[in-house]
Amino acid sequence: MILLRIALRNIAATKVRTLIIGLLITFGTMLVVVGGSLLSTLDRSMARSIIGSVSSHLQLCDEGAKDALEFFSPPTGTPDLGQIRDFPKVKAALEALPEVEAVVPMGSDFAMVFSGNVMDVKIAELSAAVKRGDREKAQVLADHVHKNVVLLQESLRGLEGFVNLDDNKEERQVDLGNLATAASDEFWADFLDSPEEKLVFLENKVARLAMDAKMLFLRYLGTDTEAFRKNFDLFEVVKGEMIPPGRRGFLFSEFIYERQVKNQVAMRLDFIKENLEAGRTIKDDPKVASRVQQNVRQYKEILYQMDRQQTAQLVARLQELLEVEEKEPEKLLEQFLEMDDENFAVRYRFFYDEIAPAIVLYQVRIGDILTIRSYTRSGYATAVNVPVYGTFRFKGMEKSALAGVYNLMDLMTYRDLYGYMSPARKAEIASLKAETGVEEIDRASAEDALFGGDDGEAGGEDGGTRPSPGEGGPPPAADASSDGGFDEFAGIDMEEGGQRYGEALLRKVYPQEEIDTGVVTNAAVRLAAGVDLEVGRAAVEKAVREGGFGLSVIDWRQASGLVGQFLGVVWIVLFSAILIIFLVALVIINNSMVMATLDRTREIGTMRAIGAQRSYVLKMFLIESTVLGVGFGLLGTLLGSMLIVFLGRVGIPAVSDELYFLFAGSHLYPVLLPGHLVSAFVVVFLVSLASTLYPARLAARIQPVKAMGKED
């Protein structure tokens, strides 16, 4: 008790020193409690986002893969992940483990989807209507194309001055002449009477001048869609319906669908509305104002899509709304799209009520057949048709760009885009190769092999660099096939390929065995409920090793790529900050105690002279620093806990798309974990103790005679 009183007296006697040490200890403890709780909560929410969306607990990849699997890193090309060689076997082996709930096959890539320019699309529709003999529809489309040609001519008119500067000015002048022909009324007067030649003219001489092709950049995840639905609990369909089991199908990410597939003018209006609802204004927020201006500049996005009748109706309705006499649709639309804070709500409604029904609001509609063109891994441009069943999102992460980055498709379509060859197709190709018997020649020895030998390739039976004199030359008069001659379609059933081949694929329901067999680049492993990640990982790794599958097993943090690494970096920063703070505290406490020892030499000497043992002096110092540590440590813990409880109630708002994903929602609600309180306390106690050891030993070694003889 006396020791405690002495400690308190000393603490009270050196107020400045106590304050500095107190602040450091309080801040350090707060940092341990707040930082630790925040990061632990963030780790949990990230786990929820990543495990519940695309990664699941563990991922399996080819151990010889050139690139690493990183779901959320920016795409820098198609990563080479190799392949899981025998997926059905891997799936069976792992699903037999009690730690594993399910194994879901996957593959991801990206594709560019081109819509073609509006002119190409409309001419194709017109061409189809002509072929069908649908005169009424053809007339409407012909008017539409005519109107668009006139609009194109007007927009290119402003560039006429540049034609003379162009290297190919003659060609440009021919282009403008063709455009003038197609814009003239004479061209269209009897269009439907003889449309064929004019359609060819429009397709090849005019449409290519309209350079407004739309492109969608789609990242997709090919998977067993039914297994995906069952094993990723955050997954939910928003628009349309789920892809039926075993069928080919595509689900757009709701985020992509609303932000990329939607008409750009409509999308910007949605953006403005969202921002106005959040309290921002067109007048004061430059981001919002710029969207209004972009819409004004891009009124053609709307006008190109409307035929004459729709345009006339729009003019009338806009005149009414804007209360003006203006008759030019371009000017009316520009005026309409020039929105401000006052008229936005009315015009937004007008857009969706009057304009949206007349235009293509989504470049791809639910129920459409989407044509995905992509380059296979061998670089061959391939196109696959896949029906769009709807859109999906991950619950609670609707606004996250990262969570919405992937679109979903069935594994069979994915494999077609990958360039996977079924055994039947492989056999067909092998027989084609055998039939032709091409000799493989290595690049390094090509010149020697082809031109080097005694006679090289020259003079061979089937031709050579210098064919024998007998070849070629005028044939005998009776030889009718002197120009050569072959029938390219002999023995080939053209109906076996093409359209029928594509349509049959869309009707097919694939059995589970076929879904599991073929290219799988990676697979998600969902652990059984309650299984610890590391325990599950060890079990899966053991099974993979024993099965000789040649796979590497990575957890969701690694699989998430940059996002997962982000948390690791934050942990390192936090630890470093805590370490630095406590090191500083340690040095300061140590120094101040050394000073106190020197200050109190006479006092300690006296105490030692009247019988105090060395251990008594030692305890005296240790208790003093422990009181300091415990007192301010408690204060820091209390303040930190209060802050976490407060943040846990109000939540930390996600102010960016990335945070939305990391928080697994709009807010992060930190939770106070007992572990962090205990560790804060232990750290403070150890630091206090360590910092006092040297001064305490110094004090204990003071000789009473020397101390008492010392002058103040």
Residues 162-191 that bind other proteins (CB under 8 A): 167-168, 171
CB of 423 to other proteins, least distance (A): 12
483/513 with CB nearer other proteins:
483
Cβ contact 394:234 at 8 Å: yes
Cβ contact 664:396 at 8 Å: yes
202/524 with CB nearer other proteins:
202
Tell me which of 89, 205, 219, 230 binds other proteins, using CB under 8 A: 205
Q: Does 44 bind other proteins (CB under 8 A)?
A: no
Between β-strands 250-253 and 381-394, what pairing exists: parallel, antiparallel or unpaired? parallel
Cβ contact 307:126 at 8 Å: no
Q: Does 471 bind other proteins (CB under 8 A)?
A: yes
Measured CA to CA, the distance from residue 671 to residue 33 in angstroms comes to 10
Tell me which of 312, 501, 508, 568 binds other proteins, using CB under 8 A: 501
Q: Which of 704, 698, 688, 694 is nearest to 598 (CA)?
A: 698
Cβ contact 596:587 at 8 Å: no
Tell me which of 294, 313, 445, 482 binds other proteins, using CB under 8 A: 482
Tell me which of 76, 194, 378, 615 binds other proteins, using CB under 8 A: 378
476/611 with CB nearer other proteins:
476
293/445 with CB nearer other proteins:
445
Query: What are the DSSP calls for 365-383, one per residue?
Result: -TTPEEEEEEE-TTS-EEE
Q: What is the DSSP letter of 439?
A: P
Q: Does 208 bind other proteins (CB under 8 A)?
A: yes
Q: Does 446 bind other proteins (CB under 8 A)?
A: yes
Tell me which of 436, 477, 548, 712 binds other proteins, using CB under 8 A: 436
Stretch binding other proteins (CB under 8 A), from 354-362, 365-373, 578-586, 634-642: 365-373
Measured CA to CA, the distance from residue 149 to residue 178 in angstroms comes to 10
Q: Does 498 bind other proteins (CB under 8 A)?
A: yes
Cβ contact 86:556 at 8 Å: no
Q: Does 475 bind other proteins (CB under 8 A)?
A: yes
Q: Does 381 bind other proteins (CB under 8 A)?
A: yes
Torsion-angle region of 407 (φ positive above 0: left; ψ -120 to 50: alpha; else: beta): beta
Stretch binding other proteins (CB under 8 A), from 335-343, 368-376, 576-584, 660-668: 368-376
Q: What is the DSSP letter of 262?
A: B
* Backbone Cα Rg of the chain: 38
Tell me which of 143, 203, 212, 338 binds other proteins, using CB under 8 A: 203
Contact positions with other proteins (CB under 8 A) in 403-432: 419, 421, 425-426, 428-429, 432
155/445 with CB nearer other proteins:
445
Residue entry with tokens 């493989």: 440
Contact positions with other proteins (CB under 8 A) in 61-90: none
Cβ contact 550:63 at 8 Å: yes
67/353 with CB nearer other proteins:
67
Tell me which of 441, 584, 595, 645 binds other proteins, using CB under 8 A: 441
Q: Which of 674, 670, 679 is nearest to 43 (CA)?
A: 670
Tell me which of 448, 512, 609, 705 binds other proteins, using CB under 8 A: 448
Q: Does 474 bind other proteins (CB under 8 A)?
A: yes
CA distances from 552 to 83, 248, 264, 604, 667 (A): 11, 29, 43, 65, 35
**Amino acid identity, position 139:** Q
Q: Which of 327, 333, 328 is nearest to 351 (CA)?
A: 333
Q: Which of 33, 46, 27 is nearest to 569 (CA)?
A: 46
Cβ contact 563:50 at 8 Å: yes
3-state SS, residue 121 = helix
Stretch binding other proteins (CB under 8 A), from 93-101, 197-205, 545-553, 582-590: 197-205
Tell me which of 492, 528, 587, 682 binds other proteins, using CB under 8 A: 492
Q: Does 204 bind other proteins (CB under 8 A)?
A: yes
Measured CA to CA, the distance from residue 571 to residue 35 in angstroms comes to 9
The count of chain residues that interact with other proteins, using the rule CB under 8 A, is: 80
Length of the chain in terms of residues written: 712
Helix (H) or strand (E) holding 115: strand 100-116
Measured CA to CA, the distance from residue 229 to residue 188 in angstroms comes to 53
**Amino acid identity, position 75:** P
Q: Does 443 bind other proteins (CB under 8 A)?
A: yes
CB of 158 to other proteins, least distance (A): 23
Measured CA to CA, the distance from residue 442 to residue 576 in angstroms comes to 57
CA distances from 225 to 57, 106, 186 (A): 18, 10, 54
CA distances from 280 to 289, 411, 588, 667 (A): 10, 44, 49, 20
Would you state the structure tokens that stand for residue 39, as one six-digit string? Answer: 């990061």
Measured CA to CA, the distance from residue 24 to residue 18 in angstroms comes to 10
CB of 461 to other proteins, least distance (A): 11
Within 10 Å of residue 673's Cβ, how many Cβ atoms? 15
210/524 with CB nearer other proteins:
210
Considering only the C-alpha atoms of the chain, give the largest distance between any 2 of them, rounded to a whole number of Å.
141
Contact positions with other proteins (CB under 8 A) in 100-129: 114, 116, 120, 124
Contact positions with other proteins (CB under 8 A) in 555-584: none
Would you state the structure tokens that stand for residue 553, as one six-digit string? Answer: 């097993």
Q: Does 499 bind other proteins (CB under 8 A)?
A: yes
- Angle separating helix axes 329-337 and 286-297, nearest 10 degrees: 170
Tell me which of 15, 433, 542, 701 binds other proteins, using CB under 8 A: 433
Tell me which of 137, 273, 377, 614 binds other proteins, using CB under 8 A: 377
Q: What is the DSSP letter of 395?
A: T
Stretch binding other proteins (CB under 8 A), from 20-28, 322-330, 493-501, 532-540: 493-501
217/501 with CB nearer other proteins:
501
Helix (H) or strand (E) holding 104: strand 100-116
450/535 with CB nearer other proteins:
450
Stretch binding other proteins (CB under 8 A), from 379-387, 586-594, 597-605, 635-643: 379-387
Q: Does 194 bind other proteins (CB under 8 A)?
A: no
Tell me which of 14, 73, 363, 385 binds other proteins, using CB under 8 A: 385
In degrees and rounded to multiples of 5, residue 75 shows phi and psi of -70, 130
Q: Does 502 bind other proteins (CB under 8 A)?
A: yes
Tell me which of 165, 380, 423, 655 binds other proteins, using CB under 8 A: 380
CB of 150 to other proteins, least distance (A): 22
Tell me which of 98, 161, 484, 611 binds other proteins, using CB under 8 A: 484
Contact positions with other proteins (CB under 8 A) in 215-234: none
CB of 101 to other proteins, least distance (A): 33
Q: Does 133 bind other proteins (CB under 8 A)?
A: no
Stretch binding other proteins (CB under 8 A), from 307-315, 395-403, 482-490, 596-604: 482-490
Q: Does 472 bind other proteins (CB under 8 A)?
A: yes
CB of 255 to other proteins, least distance (A): 26
Q: Does 495 bind other proteins (CB under 8 A)?
A: yes
Q: Does 200 bind other proteins (CB under 8 A)?
A: yes
Q: Does 550 bind other proteins (CB under 8 A)?
A: no
> CA-based angle 477:478:481, to the nearest 5?
95
456/651 with CB nearer other proteins:
456
294/482 with CB nearer other proteins:
482
114/217 with CB nearer other proteins:
114
